[in-house]
Chain A
Amino acid sequence: MKRNLNAALDAWLQQGFRQIGQIVIHPNENGYMLTHEADTERTDLTLYTRATDARALSTLDEHGVFRPLKTAPTLKRGWKLFLPDLAQLRLAVDAFYPAMLGSFFSYQTGQLPAVPLRETLNRQSGMYAVTKKLTDTQANALVGESCNSQSGCLKLLLWKISEETPITSLPPSELDPAQYPQSERGIPLLCAEACNLLVAKAREVVKKSASPG
């Protein structure tokens, strides 16, 4: 089947999906208005009108701190973004939440295989080669600390530590898309493989545990 993410996004909107991550999508007669989920009732929002504005809106958090992880629960508030058509909407959502529309489409069509953390770490080289030494216990603690939806990342984790070792440090609602609250009609953010940020944190854990004292 040929992929067409614009068509997939259109279909999800017609099915009633109105949210992705911290963003609410409001279709109207002229196009689409996006706001932060906590800003839906506000009337003092600054208007933006280009899909590329999504990039600037999502680069820094409300304290001016860089957000290298776009799915961190730290999207700043105070803006609304108008987009005239579906293509622009897709570009903007891809800027807010890179590859997340495509990951959901792949998931729905059975093309999003999850890669165990062990596999990700074992193929690292250079400065990250040391992450192979991360123990399962350290890995679970790290995932609980870094990937939880309250302070870490809004994605649902589809992967395990290894085929034999599940993640025990996150609640089931952050691991299983079937438990994602459908009443919110949200497009889920899905994590099929540990990101480089987590690999970098794994390196810190291993180096710290190896250093004396």
Chain B
Amino acid sequence: MTPKPDSALLIVGHGSTVNPDSSAPNLERADEIALRELFGEVHCVFWKEEPSMRQVLHLIDRDDIYVVPNFISEGYFTRTVIPRELELTGPVTQRAGRTFKYCEPVGNHARMTELLMRRAAEVAPGVPPSETTLFIVGHGTNLNDNSAAAAKREVERIGQIGGYAEVLTSYMEEEPLISKWDQWATQPNVVVVPFFISDGLHSYQDIPVLLGIEQEITEAASQRSVFRNNPYRLRGRTLYYSSAIGTEPLFAEVILDQVAAFDQTHPA
């Protein structure tokens, strides 16, 4: 990417009021990108932490601002909450003397398929995919019909590439619910990859309880000495649970790609 010293990069994350690890992938990607000196400034803002989206005009010096949602789904947050809080009116918004360029969320990027498959292979080394059910778990919500679409799309693509006996979507808050994983999976091995940005509240604390690998909500990942004890012998299967896809360092490239894609589709 050609350096943009007169532009700022703004990474928008969800954040959490209860889990200190939720914002970490956003901040880590921002640090990585800042080191490359491609932008005049690199900042993160959050929905549930500080700095908030509402503080963006005070946080940033530059007038030209690329906004990349570090969100998986093109759904409730990217279509309702972020535009509302940043007062965006479309892909390009002029506001208070600034130009906001609203890029696609990271979860829409074509590399998600490759990253999900790599994460699945890493968490279950030596386990034959031909005897494995792979679950891609999304959040799911009744607030936006499109929120579950990203996970469905990736499952379709992984299915087309082939290798796994079975590739299924499931969700925390929508059917098919991940809590019933043993009803959906037909294979002896089950690999579950959370299609989430961080190992935060949902991915690290909620889903393990729904899977049955934890009896109750544990402490946050950063406050425990062992991340996971894969595999788990559970409900007659061998279960492997990976960390969230968004913790992958290559998400820095994905963020930069979303900026480049914006410039291609919205030439100055």
Contacts and interface: CB of A to CB of B under 8 A. Distances in A.
Contacts of A111: 57-58, 96
Given A68-B50, A99-B59, A112-B58, 8 more contacts: A66-B19, A68-B16, A68-B18, A69-B50, A70-B50, A99-B51, A102-B59, A125-B143
Interface of B: 15-20, 27, 31, 47-52, 54-55, 57-61, 76, 80-81, 84, 96, 143, 220, 223
Give the 5 A-B residue pairs with the shortest CB-CB distance, closest first: A102-B58, A98-B51, A99-B55, A99-B51, A98-B50
A4 interface: yes
Given A52-B31, A66-B19, A196-B47, A125 B81 contact: yes
Most buried by A among B19, B50, B84: B50
A195 B52 contact: yes
Contacts of A94: 51, 59
Most buried by B among A99, A111, A123, A200: A99
Given A126-B76, A126-B143, A200-B17, A4 B51 contact: no
A136 interface: no
Residues of A contacting B: mostly: loop
A102 B56 CA distance: 9
B134 to A, nearest CB: 30
Interface residues of A, number: 33
B17 A197 contact: yes
A67 B128 CA distance: 43
Contacts of A55: 27
